[in-house]
Amino acid sequence: MEKASFSVEKRERLGKGGARSLRRAGFVPAIIYKGGNSLPVKLSGKELSQFISRSAGEQVIVNLQMDGDTRQAILKDFQMDPVSGGLLHADFQEISATEQLKVMVHVVVKGEAVGVKRDKGILQHGLREIEIECLPDQIPGHIDVDVTNLLIGHSIHVRDLRLAEGVRILSNPDEVVASVVGVKGEAAAEGGAETAEPEVIKKGKKTEE
């Protein structure tokens, strides 16, 4: 798995005023969590923004270098300014190489479904992330889901996913990851029964204030 390194410093001044001062100076306020403890830190806003763009949502273990010590962590969450698009805050979770970890991993749909290419159906996306549990060095950057053989009316559920040995899926096995549905207008024009369009399943990411 790819790794990245950041130099971080302990953050002395807290609160909104301190955070604004850090951002003006080119830093991003962040928190490192481990168990029930948290450590406020700061790091380069430019470097972290570039990392977020480069990793494109993939799970990547990072090395946080502070006071001559290195901590391994994953980027659990970050907040962006909805107006300027600037990075506001980041949360890191410190990890141990020997401890099982629960993380959310992005789903990447691969291929063109038969039900879309041949039968003119519509591919609908369900879950965009899957929760898994495994050791840090087993975390996949993303989960590939091949939809090539999907026909109209067929779905791929969480229970259909097959991950590497040692990786346990925690998400609801009945959740839909991807499905193909027919188009109402075409079904009616052909004199057939209309195909009901199932409710689109969406999962949004809760933004921490």
Q: What is the pLDDT of residues 98-150, one digit of tens each?
A: 999 999 999 999 999 999 999 999 999 999 999 999 999 899 989 999 999 99
Domain span at 138? 102-189
User: Would you place residue 31 in the very low, low, confident or very high pLDDT band (cuts 50, 70, 90)?
Assistant: very high
Residue 2, pLDDT score: 55
Lowest mean pLDDT among 83-87, 90-94, 131-135, 201-205: 201-205
For residue 65, the tally of other CB atoms under 10 A from its CB is 15
Residue 188 has pLDDT above 70, yes or no: no
Q: Are residues 131 and 52 in the same domain?
A: no
Q: Are residues 136 and 166 in the same domain?
A: yes
Q: Do the Cβ atoms of 95 and 32 come closer than 8 Å? A: no
Residue 170, pLDDT score: 97
Q: Is residue 115 part of a domain?
A: yes
Q: Are residues 130 and 50 in the same domain?
A: no
- Residues 74-86 have a mean pLDDT of 89
Quote the number of domains for the chain.
2
Q: Do the Cβ atoms of 90 and 48 come closer than 8 Å? A: yes
pLDDT digits (tens, 9 = 90+) for 153-169: 999 999 999 999 999 99
Structure tokens, 86: 């600037």
DSSP letter string, 117-151: HTT--EEEE--SEEEEEE-GGG--S-EEEE-TTPP
* Mean pLDDT, the chain, whole residue set: 86
Q: Do the Cβ atoms of 71 and 77 come closer than 8 Å? A: no
Q: Is residue 201 part of a domain?
A: no
Q: Are residues 14 and 69 in the same domain?
A: yes
Q: Is residue 135 part of a domain?
A: yes
- Residues 19-26 have a mean pLDDT of 89
